Amino acid sequence: MQARKVEALIFDMDGTMVDSMPWHAKAWIEYGIRHGIDIDVPKFMRQTTGRTAFECACELMGREVSEAESAEITHRKESIYRELFGARFREVPGFNAFNRAAVARGLKVAVGTAGDRHNIAFTMSHLRPDPAPLAIVGGDEGLPGKPEPAIFLEAARRIGVAPSRCIVFEDAPFGIEAARRGGMLAVAVCTTHSASELAGPHVIAAVRDYDELNNSNFLETLDAAA
């Protein structure tokens, strides 16, 4: 980290900014019940977390689906998710405070998520980050999902920061791997996976939530390294 100046933070959304992953799992369970599909949800989540809605639909059906079929599956499942999580919405503890502190120190903030525009709008309307991210790249923009780095690289491009000067915050192995492939540092947010599952040579910290970072000298350390 001392060899590079950090200029931007790029956050995954689900499980990283908001504590939503259990509700995605519940939504898939409910989707399977409603549509008569036997889904091994833990296995399915391991295979798809960080991938785009289209990629998830193909995985679910075990074949290449059409855009229309993908859109229908996504609409039905994500409507269930938003209904469930909306009633119990919560940020990953300390996120908004950490976001404010980071921006106050001159860091740029962006979001790179496999979520679609509807889930992005849902999350932002409930979370209300202030300041808002400078850019949000979603999974319905035609880019490959994680572990490919395209979503994170596009987020860095939109805010005008070299990937090597970005830190990615991620809760899932595919996202951690996407950061590595993109030449970015990473912080593992251990809401859904253990630190060992999110380890890598580019991972500079593993935390349960942002309260740990807020109560430490994490941002000051970035200043010192710069």
Q: 221 falls in which pLDDT band (50, 70, 90)?
A: confident
> What CA–CA distance (Å, rounded) separates 89 from 86?
5
Residue 31 near residue 41 (C-beta atoms within 8 A): no
- Alpha carbon of 108 to those of 6, 7, 42, 99, 125: distances in Å? 10, 6, 35, 10, 20
Instruction: Tell whether the model's pLDDT for residue 111 goes beyond 90.
Output: yes
Measured in whole angstroms, how far is the alpha carbon of residue 86 from the centre of its chain? 18
Within 10 A of 44 (CB to CB), how many other CB atoms are there? Answer: 16
65-104 pLDDT, tens digit each: 999 999 999 999 999 999 999 999 999 999 999 999 999 9
Q: Residues 24-52: pLDDT tens digits?
A: 999 999 999 999 999 999 999 999 999 99
Q: How confident is the model at residue 226 (pLDDT cuts 50, 70, 90)?
A: very low
Query: What is the pTM assigned to this prediction?
Result: 0.94
Lowest mean pLDDT among 1-15, 55-69, 99-113: 1-15
Q: Which whole number is the average pLDDT over 133-144? A: 97
Model confidence at 4: pLDDT above 80: no
pLDDT at 1: 47
Radius of gyration over alpha carbons of the chain, in Å? 17
CB distance 172 to 55 below 8 Å: no
Please provide the average confidence, as pLDDT, over all residues in the chain.
95
- Look at 225 and 6; give whichever has higher pLDDT: 6
What secondary structure letter does DSSP report for 163?
G
What confidence tens digit (pLDDT) does each residue in 201-210 have? 999 999 999 9
* Contact (Cβ atoms closer than 8 angstroms) between residue 12 and residue 171: yes
